[in-house]
Amino acid sequence: MPRIEPRLLKGFRDYLPEVMIPRTRMLRKIAAVFERFGFEPLDTPAIEYADILMGKLGPEAEKLFYRFRDSGDRDVALRYELTVSLARVVAQYSTDLPRPFKRYQMGPVWRAEAPSMERGRFREFWQCDVDIVGSHSLLADAECLAVDHAVMQAVGVKTHLIRFNNRKLFRGLQEKLGINQDALMAAIMRAVDKFDKVGREGVEKELAALEGVDAAARQTVLAFLDLAKFEGGNDARIGKLSEFLGSAASGQLGCSELREVLVEARRMGVPEKHLLVDATIVRGLDYYTGTVFETTLSDAPSFGSVMSGGRYDGLVGLFAGKDEPAVGISVGIDRLLAALESASLLMKSKASASVLVTVFDETCLEYALKSATELRRAGVNTEVYLEVGAKLKKQLAYAERKAIPLVVIAGPEEIAAGETQLRVMGTGEQLRLKLTELPQAAMSRFVEPDPNTAAGRTWDWAFKPEMIERVPEVGGLFLLRDETRVVKFAGWAKYGDLRNAIRRSLGPAQATKVKTFDWYEIREDELSEALCEFVVARLKPEFNA
RNA sequence: CGGCUAGUAGCUCAGUUGGUUAGAGCGCCUGACUGUGACUCAGGAGGUCGCGGGUUCGAGUCCCGUCUAGCCGCCCA
């Protein structure tokens, strides 16, 4: 029988569980942030008529489409990004949708370009978009920046830089240069966009190669470039640019928009250190009309932009006949994932299960299945080993291989006593427990695979600054334990103060005796206080005395 | 799509100026261990040397073609 060689198309890949687990976790986190800002989910087909998808992306993008004839000889293409489909949806269901229409969409897109697996460039990759359609307000633009910052925080990034600009500045520049061919201006913008890659000289070279740009014009563009990189703070930079653009009306408008977006983003709580007004930001897509933004990670700059977008007030009009304002931003999660991995910010995990229940032999099978059911009822992800005859050694090796942290072992001996053994793979520690105690013990030994997703409560976190850092800023109760899990200190915190309360609860001498901590979110301060008093009275922790 | 580099075991690679039966480490499987993983020891499986052709008594090694992968260019998330 001839064997079919298993292989993949260049630029495409399989997502094995090891990759898929952190990936789906990240997608969930991102969706949660989007919903927190009031965006609703939307999905659209991967394939559409080519003329729709290629609507206004520009000649550069058109080359990169997967485009073909379907069996009904229709001219179709795989979607290149998600925004065009949104514009189509808004036009098609115009009267059914509220304005502003805020939607998020996560799904694969395809680009037939040169892939670079190492740096997170693929021919099939996912985008996570949020867009606001139907609002001229610059609050919408600023909200995109706020969402950007919130996403970065949610996935654990601390070194992101959100750089933004306004395309109207280029209109102003065009006016100042006296250029009336849009194609030439587009070429100039593309040259400016390359600044970060090729530097000032590189841009100068690019400009020199353009026909219709004389020496004087070149100097003007370079002067603009210098102001774009002016170091002295965002406000000062906008001031300089505004001064430079002088009487060019759209340039002035661009500057005032830039100023307003900056102010509103600050008021939405985006720290100044993550914001950079940078007039060399252009963005390749042709449909942008106002604000444009790009986000890079200082930990992994070579990955390029991990999140970007802008305002595109003309796109919906292409399908609707009348223009509707829109602004949006898109997370490139494959790139983000690759960047996080290279900056070792990614929590890897190979297994969904927290517990593996071993099966000793046929006679013990029923007991094993019952244990698993108990665990699952308590919400613990549990896997039963499915080969009944297999040696314990093999079953443990399986748990090891999948990095499942806990194993339940119950042979005739344990069953006779109504017990089971819970083995902690990391330490080799083994506990004898009544079957009824098993879920509780598993839950309290359970190591959260990804502390970033921790919500509500956790147990047994290592008492270290980087773990305390992960505690959300809510209120509630916390317990500090020594290596034998004896509670050494019980404390509570007012709403918003939990992380700090844990951090300053102990002096350095006492802190050395604490190995792990638990915390529970409680939304009423009075309740936290009462529970804490109760716990202290009951357990009498050493350091509370 | 243009330029550069590379394809030998599941992975990382070695393989002399062309010379008999192509090796190592790691991984995998089995056993020592009849109730315990990551350590140790013993054994085992796994290769048309990317594919096709040529030169030669003889090719993993040299030549041509082809395919695939990687890097750079262009562009982007």
pLDDT confidence bin for A56, thresholds 50/70/90: low
Domain with CATH 3.40.50.800 in chain A: 355-443
- Which residue approaches B38 most closely, CA to C1'? A400
Q: What is the pLDDT of residues A397-429, one digit of tens each?
A: 999 888 898 999 999 999 999 999 999 988 888
What pLDDT is recorded for position A450? 47
Cα-based distances in Å from A383 to A94, A225, A396, A409, A429:
48, 59, 13, 13, 20
pLDDT at A454: 53
Q: How far is the CA of A498 from the C1' of B18 (A)?
A: 74
Read off the pTM.
Answer: 0.81
Distance A47 CA to B45 C1' (A): 46
pLDDT band at A93 (very low <50, low <70, confident <90, very high): very high
The predicted-structure confidence for A378-388, as pLDDT tens digits, reads as follows 778 899 999 88
For residue A304, give the nucleotide whose C1' atom is nearest its CA.
B77
Q: Tell me, in Å, how far CA of A514 is from C1' of B43?
A: 48
Cα–Cα distance, A138 to A261 (Å, whole number): 6
What's the pLDDT at A303?
Answer: 72
A285 touches strand B (CB under 7 A): yes
Q: Determine if the peptide bond prior to A100 is cis (ω within 30°).
A: yes
Confidence band (pLDDT; 50, 70, 90) for A178? Answer: confident
Distance B37 C1' – A425 CA (angstroms): 8
| CATH 3.30.930.10 domain span(s) along chain A | 10-159+330-348
Which pLDDT band, with edges at 50, 70 and 90, does A1 fall under? very low
Mean of the per-residue pLDDT values of chain A: 87
Point out the residue nearest to B50 (C-alpha to C1'): A5
> Given a cut of 90, is residue A543 above it in pLDDT?
yes
Q: Is the CB of A392 under 7 A from strand B?
A: yes
Span CA (A3) to C1' (B24), Å: 30
Contact A104, A31 (CB under 8 A): yes
CATH 3.40.640.10: does it fit domain A355-443?
A: no
CATH 3.30.930.10 fits domain A10-159+330-348:
yes
For residue A151, the tally of other CB atoms under 10 A from its CB is 27
Whether the Cβ atoms of residue A250 and residue A168 lie closer than 8 Å to each other: yes
Strand partners, A40: A103
CA–centroid distance for A361 within its chain: 45
Give per-residue pLDDT as tens, A258-289: 999 999 999 999 999 999 999 988 886 678 89
The answer, yes or no, to whether residue A44 has pLDDT greater than 70, is: yes
| Residues 86-145, chain A, CB closer than 7 Å to nucleic strand B | 111, 113-123, 125, 127
**For residue A312, which of A94, A150, A142, A166 has the smallest C-alpha distance?**
A166
Decide which of A433 and A485 is more confident: A433
ipTM over 0.90: no
Please tell me whether any atom of strand B lies within 7 Å of the Cβ of A56.
no
Report CA(A117)–C1'(B59) in Å, whole number: 35
Can you list the positions of beta strands (E) in A176-302?
A: 275-277, 291-297
At a CB cut-off of 8 Å and minimum separation 6, what does A237 contact? A227, A228, A230, A277, A279
d(CA A308, CA A311): 11
Residue A304 CB in 7 A reach of strand B: yes
- Which bases of strand B have any atom within 7 Å of the beta carbon of a protein residue? 1-2, 28-31, 33-38, 68-77
